[in-house]
Structure 1
Amino acid sequence: MRRVSVDIGGTFTDCFVVWNGQYIETKALTTHHNLALGFNEALGKSCKTLGIGLEDILSSVDSVRYATTLGTNALIEHKGPKIGMLVTAGYEATVPLSRARGYGEGLDTLGQTDLPNASRPAPLVEASMIRGIRERLDFEGKMVMPLDEEDVRLQIRELVNRGAQIIVVALLNSVVNPAHEQRIEEILLEEYPSHLLGAIPVILSHRVAGRKGEYVRATSAIVDGYLHSTMYHALSTLEQNLRAHQYRQPMLVIHNSGGMAQLNSTDALQTIHSGPVSGIAASEHLAAQAALGNVVATDMGGTSYDIGIVVEGGIKHYDFNPVIDRWLVSVPMVHLVTLGAGGGSIASYDRMYDTVKCGPQSAGSDPGPACYDRGGMQPTVTDADLVLGYLDADNYAGGSIPLNPRRAISAIENTLCDELDCEVTEAALLIREKVDANMANGLFTELRARGYDPKDFTMLAYGGNGPLHCCGIAQNLSIDRILAPPYSSVFSAVGAGNIHQLHIHEKSLYMVLYDSNIKKLMDDYGRFNGIVEELKERGTQDLLRQGVARHEIQHRLELDMRYGNQLVQTTAVIDKHTMDGPVDVLNMIQQFSSDYGKRFGEGSQAPEAGIRINTIRVAAFVHHETVQFENLKPVPEDERAAPPPPSEHRRCWFVGHEKPFDTPVWSRADILPGMQVPGPAIIASEVTTFLVNPGWNFVAARQNASWFLREQPTH
């Protein structure tokens, strides 16, 4: 297997190369003005390790896969095109009103408890740029009022004259019958053909989101349109860079659904959070192969801290209506929680509580933390880690980024020491304590909200800063086992290399499986089978268009079901994809009842209210060869060996200890499988630093994996 996978984050571009059994991990700073430069630098480091040229690698690999947070960052920065929007006449206020929930969506728990003081997010589409079109389809897709094409042409011209750079179309009930949206696209292309300089993109809502819910479908299309140009130009630049270096295969882009596709089959909305989702996919793959049981995946990079849950048995947690930034959308996305706490998170003085505040603002890669000596003036978590002695100023990131301790000290002194009336090391310890506590609180809330006990989980700590902070976080949660997985600093890039090509298509409908009023099971099998077959064929065509052989394509059928008119719906995975008689209907009901009971408690089922299907969803996918993980279980205690003498000692301060420790330092390459290093200790590598807190042991496992095991857990 020869493969290149890349995770482009806000601070670093991570690269993982598989080359005939060799695994190489490298990093470079993200170059936001031209992502190809950071990619070339990271891949160039792999070329040096392999002793071959950049073009030799790219002309020989089977695929290049990208995961990126570029879309997330573009949305946060609020730098998108001017959007014009066409809706059904009479519904022009749907998006501006945002179901009267626009104040609260996307806020943290504290913000949602104080909605009178909350602020609406700045709109992605101005109210003056929304136009109503004379047309109407009913809930079954039947025509009530035909499309007024002259009205469409008039409204399009008005939007263009007002500066619209992209047109979003979100008509009522278009997921049931998309004919009017499709005709509007044809009219727009007639008015502004693609060969003209004035041509503008058009986004149809039924192609972005296949479920009913007019507001969330409209916002999905708006967000997709808002990111369209940014993602298109950035990813096209990456693809052109690949072509210039002799890569001839299609470029693959990771989706937040946990799958991937070629660039020409990817919507901008599908790339949101694709980097962290790749890490969760890698965690699921690792947990299954290494039999780790329940794991909580934690990815601490330079900008954020991402949390995902992987439960034993392969149960995936999805968000079918996730909130992206401040916008509720309607796309199936692997569930994750993002906290503004990374190595580049900026520390500031919190006047209200007379203490330190960390994040959510980040120094990113430009200018970066103060110690990077690139112009950053504000203290960050990385500056605190350097002051506390954890980082080697001369060999950070393999020596590619020399650190300036004086800059770090100066930034902390000028911002915090005078306000807190403390020494630099005390302020740095407060930063460290605060950021670890924030991440522990986020983890605890996420696990407890889903009914899990943190003590039943193994923590996976990855990302460039994961192994540096994991002990402090786990100690706050009474978690005793931490695994820094193989290639932990680029683990999301590893996940990008392991993800399979996948497309999800879904259709909203009103289908009663059991009518409690007349005590009758559904018998319209043809309607159900026809919809499933249509969705399977759409996914199949997506993959066939990308060169996949038909016999390799597999499908997964999911049904969103509910009892009666309950607001809560539960997703059931159905093994049999056709409905041929009452037995099949009863089996679907039984599967739904079982899943509902597991989620809400056995006995909570309510079939007397009736049972209905709200959404039919089909995932079309194909499996690829993946990176294999060996047995990563920690070596039994009586078989562990002592490490060689440390290469040096460093003076380090730790939270909860008044005096510094004379801390031994090893190179990760010198700690062989089976060796145990008692804390406090530092194990340094070119791509990350493993910090072993007092009271913890570092145990090396196979394939460069590392365990942190607590000696005497405190409960």
Structure 2
Amino acid sequence: MKRVSVDIGGTFTDCFVAWGDQYVESKALTTHQNLSLGFNEALDNACKSLGLTDSDLLTQVDSVRYATTLGTNALIERKGPRLGLLTTAGFRSSVPLTRAKGYATGLPHKQQMDVPNAQRPDPIIPIPMIMEVRERVDYLGEVVLELDEDDVLEQLRNLVDKGAQAIIVNLANSVVNPAHELRIRELFLEEYPGHMLGAIPMLLSHQVAGRKGEYVRSMSTIIDGFLHEVMYHGLGTLELNLRNAGYSKPMLCNHNSGGMAQLNSTDALQTVHSGPVSGIAAGEHLANQTDLGNIVATDMGGTSFDIGIVTKGGVKHYDFNPIIERWMVSVPMVHLVTLGAGGGSICSYDRMFKTVQVGPESAGSDPGPACYDRGGMRPTVTDADLILGYLDPANYAGGYIKLNPRRSKQAIDEELAEDLDLSVVETAKLMKSTVDGNMANGIATELRTRGYEPENFTILAYGGNGPLHACGIARALGVKKVLAPPFASVFSACGAGNMSQLHIHEMSTWTVLFDANQSKFFDNYDYFNGIVEELEERGREDLLRQGFTPEQVSYRLELDMRYGNQRVETAVVTDLNRIKGPEDVLKLIEQFFTRYGERFGSGSQTPEAGVRINTIRVCSYVDLPGIAFHGIKPNGHRAPAPPPVDHRECHFVGHDGAINTPIYDEQALVAGTQIEGPAIVVTRATTYLVEPGWHYTAAEQNAVWFTCAD
């Protein structure tokens, strides 16, 4: 297997190369003005380790997989075309009203509570660019009012005259009957043929999002249309860059649904947050291969701290209505919680509570933390780590970046220490304990609100800063064991290389498996099976278009189920792709009963309230060979600890004064090596910090376990 996978974050571009039995990880600073420059530099670094040129590598690899923040940046900067919206008469205000939640959606909890200063984001589509058309379809898909075609043509002309560069069509209940949306597209192409110079693209909402909910479906399609141009040119430029270097195969893009596809089968909306989701996919792959059970995937990079959950058996949590930037959308997206707690998160003085506030603002890669000596003037988490002695100024990121401790000291002193009336070192300790506590609280909240306890999960700490803060997070969380997985510093890029080619299609439904009022079981099998067949057909067409045969395509059926009218939905993965009789209905109910009990505790089930399916989801995929993980769990074998290569004065939270701390190099990653804290292990890719009272054990493939000695 020869494969290149890249994850472009807000600060670093991570590259992972699988070259037969060799695995190489490398990093470069993200170049936001042209992402391909950072990609090329990271690839150059990997090629040097293999003794190859870029051209030699790219002409021989099986695939190049790419996860990017390009869409996220475009939304933040509002870089996109002028859009127009056609909607059902009477629904013109759905988007501007934003379900009355737009003032708070996507903001940190503290800002959500500040109602007097609440303000909705600037709309992507202003009200004058929203037009109504006369038509109506009811919730069952029955046509109540036929489409007024003359009215449609008039409204289309209005949008074109007002300068619309792309048109969104979102009609009420089009997911159950898309006939009117399809007819509008026919009328549009008759009036404005696609071959004309300056032709305008049109997006239909039922083809972007398959679930009911007019506002969230509108926003899904609007964001997809808004990002289409910048993603097309950005990813197209990257693909051209690969072509110039000798790569001739289709470029693959990672999706936030947990899969990937060729560029021609990728919607712009699917690429948002695709990097962190790749890390969750890597965690799932690791857990399945090494029998780790339940895991929490935590990615602490330079800009953010991302949290994802995978329970035993590979059941990922999906967001039914995820938040992208400041808007709620309706697409199947692997559930992800993002905190402003990366290495580049800026620390400021909280005057109300007279303490340190970490994030959400980040220094990014340009100018970066103050210690990068690139013009950054504000203190960050990385500056605190440097002042506390955890980082080697001359050997950070393998010597790729030289750090300036004087800049860190100056930034912390001027911005924080004076207001706190603390020394620079004590301020740095407070910065570290605050960020570790924030991340621990994020993990605890995410688990407990879903009915789980942290002690029943293995915490994975990865990303460039994950192994550096693993012990601090675990201490604040109250857990005794954390795993820094193989290739921890580029684990998300590694996950991008492990993904299957996958497409997810879903449809809202009102399927009552057990009606408690009538004591009746579901018996309309043709209705259920027809939906599943339609969703399978859509996925099969997606994969056939990418060169696969029908025999290579597999399907996974997932059902979002609930008891009665409960608001909580639980995803159930089932091997029943069709319902053939009452025994299959009972099996689905039993599977839901078991899954619900695992999540909320045995005895919490309430089948007497009725059992309902709200969403039918089909994952169509082609399994591809991935990175093999093995030997992650300690097997009792002990290797002699290597002698320290240096000692450094370090400061630790909860300990007064400096501690003379041994420093180890990559020899400490030999499987079986055990080290008692305090200690620091410095590698080319990352830094492992073993705090006092913690124990370090190296496993195979450079995995590291941190265990509390208490």
Give TM-score, length-normalised by structure 2. Answer: 0.96
The match for 1:290 is 290
- Among 664, 667, 670, the alignment partner of 2:665 is 667
Q: Secondary structure at the match of 1:397?
A: coil
Contact (CA 8 Å) 1:192, 1:198: kept in 2 or not?
no
1:118 aligns with 2:91: no
2:246 equivalent in structure 1: 246
Q: Tell me the residue number matched to 1:492.
A: 492
Is 1:207 matched up with 2:210? no
Q: Separation in 1 of the partners of 2:433 and 2:560?
A: 43
Aligned residue in 1 for 2:102: 102
Question: What amino acid maps onto 2:697 in structure 1?
Answer: V
- Equivalent residue for 2:592? 592
Structure 1 residues 479 and 521, CA gap change in structure 2 (3 angstroms): closer
| Contiguous gaps of at least 5 residues in structure 2 | none
Matching of residue 262 in structure 1 with residue 266 in structure 2:
no
SS in 1 for 2:177: coil
Residue pair 2:668, 2:681 contacting (<8 A) in 1 also? no
Query: Is the aligned partner of 1:385 residue 2:391?
Result: no
Identify which range, 285-294 or 75-84, moves more after superposition.
75-84
Letter in 2 for 1:461: A
Q: Map 1:47-58 onto structure 2 (within 5 A).
A: 47-58=47-58
Tell whether the 8 Å contact from 1:457 to 1:479 is kept in structure 2 after alignment: no
Q: Which residue of 2 aligns with 1:341?
A: 341
Contact in 2 for aligned 1:10/1:73 (Cα 8 Å):
no
* Partners of 2:379 and 2:55 in 1: CA distance: 40
Query: CA deviation digits over 1:530-568, x for unaligned, max 9?
Result: 221111111011111111121111111122334444444
Aligned amino acid, residue 686 of structure 1: R
Residue equivalent to 2:413: 413
Figure out how many residues of one structure are paired with residues of the other and give that number: 710
Secondary structure of 2:316 counterpart: coil
**1:480 corresponds to which residue?**
480
In 2, Cα distance between equivalents of 1:507 and 1:454: 33
> In 1, distance between residues paired with 2:74 and 2:437?
29
1:7-26 alignment to 2 at 5 Å?
A: 7-26=7-26
Match of 1:546 in 2: 546
User: Using the alignment, how far apart are the partners of 1:154 and 1:205 within structure 2?
Assistant: 20
Secondary structure of 2:425's counterpart equals helix
Cα distance, 1:695–1:146 mapped onto 2, change above 3 Å: same
Give the aligned partner of residue 691 of structure 2.
Answer: 693
Shift of 1:601: 4.9
* 1:683 matched residue in structure 2: 681
How far residue 303 of structure 1 moved from its aligned partner, in angstroms, is 0.2
Aligned residue in 2 for 1:144 = 144
SS at 1:399's partner residue? coil
Q: What is the CA distance between 1:73 and its match in structure 2?
A: 3.1
> Aligned equivalents of 1:320 and 1:141: distance in 2?
22
User: SS of the counterpart of 1:4?
Assistant: strand
1:649 is aligned to 2:625? no
Q: In structure 1, what is the Cα distance between the partners aligned to 2:171 and 2:318? A: 27
The equivalent residue for 1:359 is 359
Q: Between 506-515 and 15-24, report the one with greater CA deviation.
A: 506-515
Tell me whether 488-497 or 187-196 shows the greater mean CA deviation: 187-196
Q: What is the one-letter code of the residue matched to 2:73?
A: N
Q: Distance in 1 between matches of 2:618 and 2:169?
A: 24
**Cα drift, residue 610 of structure 1:** 4.5
Q: How far did residue 609 of structure 1 move? A: 4.9
Range that drifts further, 80-89 or 359-368: 80-89
- Which 10-residue stretch deviates more, 461-470 or 152-161? 152-161
- The amino acid that maps onto 2:586 is L
CA deviation after TM superposition for structure 1 residue 17, in Å: 0.4
Q: How does 1:592-631 map to 2 (within 5 A)?
A: 592-602=592-602, 605-607=605-607, 609-631=609-631
Task: Give the distance between the partners of 2:375 and 2:540, measured in 1 at CA.
Answer: 51
Matched to 2:658, the amino acid is: P
| Inter-CA distance 566–470: structure 2 relative to 1 (3 Å threshold) | closer
Q: Partners in 1 of 2:301 and 2:522 — Cα distance?
A: 51
The answer on whether the counterparts of 2:451 and 2:599 sit within 8 Å (CA) in structure 1 is: no
Which deviates more from structure 2 when the two are superposed, residues 585-594 or residues 354-363?
585-594
Distance 1:511 1:647, change over 3 A: closer
1:682 alignment partner AA:
I
1:84-483 alignment, distance < 5 Å = 84-113=84-113, 115=115, 117-483=117-483
Deviations along 1:632-679, one digit per CA (max 9) or x if unpaired, are 12253xx53442221111121111222011221111235422122221
Cα distance in 2, alignment partners of residues 252 and 201 from structure 1: 23
Deviation at 1:88, TM superposition (A): 0.5
Number of the residue aligned with 1:28? 28
Match of 1:529, SS? helix
Residues 68-87 of structure 1: pairs in structure 2 closer than 5 A: 68-87=68-87
Q: What code does the residue aligned with 2:571 have?
A: T
Q: Report Cα offsets for 1:157-194 as digits up to 9, x if no partner.
A: 32233332321111111111212212222333344444
Query: Secondary structure at 2:382's aligned position in 1?
Result: helix
CA distance in 1, matches of 2:466, 2:436: 11
Q: How far does residue 115 in structure 1 lie from its aligned partner after superposition?
A: 4.2
- Distance change in 2, residues 1:616/1:294 (3 Å): closer
**Counterpart in 2 of 1:537?**
537
- Give the stretch that moved more between structures: 213-222 or 16-25: 213-222
Equivalent-residue separation in structure 2 for 1:183 and 1:237 (angstroms): 34
State the Cα deviation string for residues 223-269 of structure 1 (Å, max 9, x = none): 22222222222111111111111211111111111111111111111
| TM-score for the superposition, normalised by structure 1 | 0.95
Please report how far the alpha carbon of residue 213 of structure 1 lies from its aligned counterpart in structure 2 after TM superposition. 1.4
CA distance in 2, matches of 1:166, 1:409: 50
- In structure 2, how many angstroms separate the alpha carbons of the residues matched to 1:527 and 1:640? 60
Distance 1:615 1:447 in 2: 23
The answer (yes or no) to whether the contact 1:295–1:460 under 8 Å persists in 2 is yes
2: CA distance, partners of 1:325 / 1:389: 36
Paired amino acid for 1:672: V
Greater mean deviation of Cα atoms: 185-194 or 424-433 = 185-194
3-state SS of the aligned residue for 1:459? strand
Structure 1: tracts of 5 or more residues without a match = none
The 10-residue stretch of structure 1 (268-277 or 220-229) with the greater mean CA deviation from structure 2: 220-229
User: What aligned pairs does 1:492-511 form with structure 2 within 5 A after superposition?
Assistant: 492-511=492-511
Tell which deviates more after alignment, 652-661 or 160-169. 160-169
Indicate the residue corresponding to 1:709 in structure 2: 707
Contact 2:669–2:699, Cα closer than 8 Å, also in 1: no
Shift in alpha-carbon separation, 1:658–1:191, aligned structure 2, 3 A: farther
- Whether the 8 Å contact between 2:7 and 2:66 is mirrored in structure 1 is yes
SS in 2 for 1:396: coil
Check whether the contact 1:387–1:425 (CA below 8 A) recurs between aligned residues.
yes
Output the amino acid matched with 2:219.
T
Deviation at 1:338, TM superposition (A): 0.6
Deviation, 1:511, is: 3.4
Q: Partner amino acid for 1:224?
A: D
Comparing 235-244 with 586-595, greater Cα deviation is found at 586-595
**Alpha-carbon distance between aligned partners in 1 of 2:479 and 2:198, rounded to the nearest angstrom:** 58
- Corresponding letter in the other structure for 1:330: S
Corresponding position of 2:40: 40
Q: Which amino acid aligns with 2:232?
A: Y
Shift of 1:344: 0.7
Q: 1:704 is matched by which residue type in structure 2?
A: N
Residue identity (%)? 64
Which shows bigger deviation, 111-120 or 308-317? 111-120
Shift of 1:414: 2.2
